[in-house]
Structure 1
Amino acid sequence: MKKFLAKPYRWAAVLAFLLTFSFVFVLLDTFVIPKNVTEVKQREAAEAAEQQNTASEQQSAAEDPTESGSETKAAVTDHSYQDKNIKITIDAVQAYDTTIYVADIQLSDASYLKTALAENSFGRNLKETTSDMAEEHQAVFAINGDYYGFRNNGYVLRNGVLYRDTAREAGKDEALVIDDVGNFSIINENAVCADSLTNTWQVLSFGPALIENGKIVVDSTSEVSQSKNSNPRTAIGQVSGLHYIVIVSDGRTEESAGLSLLELAQEFAERGCTVAYNLDGGGSSTMYFNGEIVNHPTDGRSSQQREVSDIVYIGNE
């Protein structure tokens, strides 16, 4: 070994090997090797409230033997769903040479607006398709989330539980806050400590914000690298209390060009949204409804779902 290392170029070869190995390991650690940090926890208060509601409903049903099961049965079509707590209608429209799927959602309570993490765990490189996660959680409707696992920063607060409190860099730190009564607001992570987000149900960290206080906050000159590019998009907005709009667009195909952020914002504004927020798009963009994929997910190379870290979904379970 000493003879081998005696010549300088052999030291260089060994050093090059070690550097290459280290670089490959970092890439694998960042993008491939799964790291389960913690299993998903549900907020105890929410669980207790749900159990109490269930018990109350069971007691009411027992006290009223004339109550018919048909009253709670959901009315379902290819493009709509309605039960006593959830109402969803989905339309496909054409605009900007793109097919746009618009879901109009009305809920009786914010607890029906849920999120789920891949493999039911928080961690890096844990991924599943949107449809797989939706089916695991018996979702009526779902979209891809903010792909939190692709980054080491950005607030992650899901179903009332804070998993990550590291802010993104200033200027790229807009996050969507959904409080425990279902109202949307936009914060800058560097200006608001994660621990101060009490009475918060969800925080999604991707962006940018599209609409705030009823006004479009992106244009054709701001964030040029993002807003002028036409891509598949996923975004969510609020019209009023417990009334939401979700938009997913196709893109990067001959049939659908995709949307810029400004075009996306305009679609929300036309539907009366006071707040709207951009989520992970591109090949991740997926809309799921009643067991089917509504849009045509593609990353420009293949027409199939991309595995992602998380979903936003509507469901009774």
Structure 2
Amino acid sequence: MKSKICYVTYGFLLILSLAYVFRYSDTYETMEFTYEEETKKNNNVIHSTGEKENSTKPSTENSTTKTPDEGNGTIGGENVSGNDEVTTEEPTTEEPTTEEPTTSEADNYDYYYNDGDVRIAINAVTDKENKQKYYVADVQLSSIKYFTSMFAYGKYSTKLRQGVTEMAEMTGAIFAVSGDYYSQRSNGCVIRNGVLYKNTKTSRDLLVMYENGDLDIIPYGEYPDGEELIEQGVIQAYIFGPAIVEDGKAVDEVRKTSDYIEESHPRMLIGQIDTLHYLFVAVDGRRDDAVGMDIYECGELMESLGCRVAYNLDGGGTTTMVFQGEIINVPSQGSERAISDGIGILGGGN
């Protein structure tokens, strides 16, 4: 009897144990399901903006950025499409480079002009040992049209007088010198800019210029006819003299027409080195520091400067050299002398 009661009791306890297990097993599954649902909800929180919260940070590994896909744009002044990549570069700092300063040709001269057709280079020379001061103007032209003779007030006359500075201004010359002062002599051949103005015999050397710009000397005593010279192509004829360089050599003997030849005085000299290449020299004089030159010294100077032919124009108080409106020599009488004529160099484009 007792053993039956034990079996019944064990059986009842077994049933209770199984019932307990089944009950709490369902509860565990329900709890697991509920946890998973809550996790999904937390990963998909909806904010008031209507957007999902994104917890992923943008990558900073690459500095290359893309432009938006919509349309094209401009970057740094260059057109780019929406698919182009724009790389941002760090600014670079370049070290400044230093260049050696260059010396222009103009730095070698006291006065200088060059427009491509006309080149004028002038130096003032001081020779203290020999008490000389002179101004050397090297003139090169692309055409003889830039060489011109000037008259006082623009007219050929034996009475009109004008300073070289004013003549140059009226003519438009950027460089000018005093001429042969033709109005002081009643004889001689005067041809200026292709026109014959005077046609008489002379006892002086005559300087002529041909159409190609070449200078030549017609010695005194040959008495050329002006009409013939025009036919031969002479466009300028100056009468003062004497010739001081011929065939590249200084003239060692000139006819003495006055004491002026052998005395030291201010001088105005013209010479030719090569085709359309001329030399003008103004010699100061009648001062303690600049005594002037005699004719033979002038010839030696022009030969040393490379002239193949050179000629003495009117000097003394007439001697004047003008560059861009400025008198650059020192006239012996303190100011420029009003004279009948001069020689001018026009600038390119005239």
Larger Rg: 2
Q: Identify the residue that residue 124 of structure 1 maps to in structure 2.
A: 158
2:138 — aligned with what? 104
Paired residues of 1:218 and 1:227 also in contact (CA < 8 A): no
The alpha-carbon distance between structure 1 residues 187 and 221, as it changes in their structure 2 partners (threshold 3 A), is: closer
Deviation string 1:38-76 (CA, Å, 9 cap, x unpaired) is xxxxxxxxxxxxxxxxxxxxxxxxxxxxxxxxxxxxx89
Q: What's the CA shift for 1:188?
A: 3.4
How far 1:218 moved relative to its partner?
A: 4.0
Equivalence map 1:130-145=2 (5 Å): 130-145=164-179
For 1:275-290, list aligned pairs within 5 A: 275-290=309-324
Post-superposition Cα deviations, 1:214-245, rounded to whole Å, max 9, x if no partner, equal: 12114499567233200000010000111111
CA distance in 1, matches of 2:221, 2:181: 20
Q: Does 1:114 align with 2:158?
A: no
**Partners of 2:242 and 2:254 within 8 A in 1:** no
TM-score, structure 2 as length reference:
0.65
What RMSD over aligned residues (CA atoms) do the two structures have, in Å?
1.9
1:93 paired to 2:135:
no
1:83 maps to 2:115: yes
Unaligned runs of 5+ in 2: 1-105
Tell me how far apart the structure 1 counterparts of residues 183 and 227 of structure 2 sit (CA, whole Å): 20
Identity within the alignment, % = 38
In 1, distance between residues paired with 2:165 and 2:252? 31
Tell me which of 180, 187, 193 is aligned to 1:146.
180
Q: Any idea what the Cα deviations from partners look like across 1:74-118, whole Å, max 9, x if unmatched?
A: x89861000121001001112331101000110001111111111
Q: 1:206 is matched by which residue type in structure 2?
A: F
Q: Which has the higher contact order (CA 8 A, sep 6+)?
A: 1
Out of 90-99 and 186-195, give the one that drifted further: 186-195
Provide closer, same or farther for how the CA distance between residues 190 and 227 of structure 1 changes in structure 2, counting only shifts above 3 A: closer
Letter in 1 for 2:195: V
Q: Map Cα deviations across residues 20-49 of structure 1 (whole Å, 9 max, x no partner).
A: xxxxxxxxxxxxxxxxxxxxxxxxxxxxxx
1:218/1:313 CA distance change after superposition, 3 Å = farther
1:310 corresponds to which of 341, 344, 350: 341
Q: Which residue of 2 aligns with 1:159?
A: 193
Tell whether 2:226 aligns with 1:194.
Answer: yes
Q: Residue 177 in 1 paired to residue 211 in 2?
A: no
Q: Distance in 1 between matches of 2:189 and 2:159?
A: 17
Q: Quick check: 1:176–1:186 contact (8 Å CA) kept in 2?
A: yes
User: More helix per residue: 1 or 2?
Assistant: 1
Q: 1:167 touches 1:189 (CA, 8 Å); kept in 2?
A: no
Q: TM-score if structure 1 supplies the norm length? A: 0.71
For the Cα contact (< 8 Å) 2:110–2:124, is it kept in 1? no
Whole-angstrom CA distance in 1 between matches of 2:123 and 2:346: 19
221 and 311 in structure 1: CA distance in 2 versus 1, 3 angstrom threshold: closer
Question: Which consecutive unaligned segments of at least 5 residues does structure 1 have?
Answer: 1-74
Amino acid in structure 2 at the alignment position of 1:89: A
Q: Distance in 1 between matches of 2:166 and 2:180?
A: 17
CA distance in 2, matches of 1:261, 1:193: 27
Match of 1:239, SS state, is strand
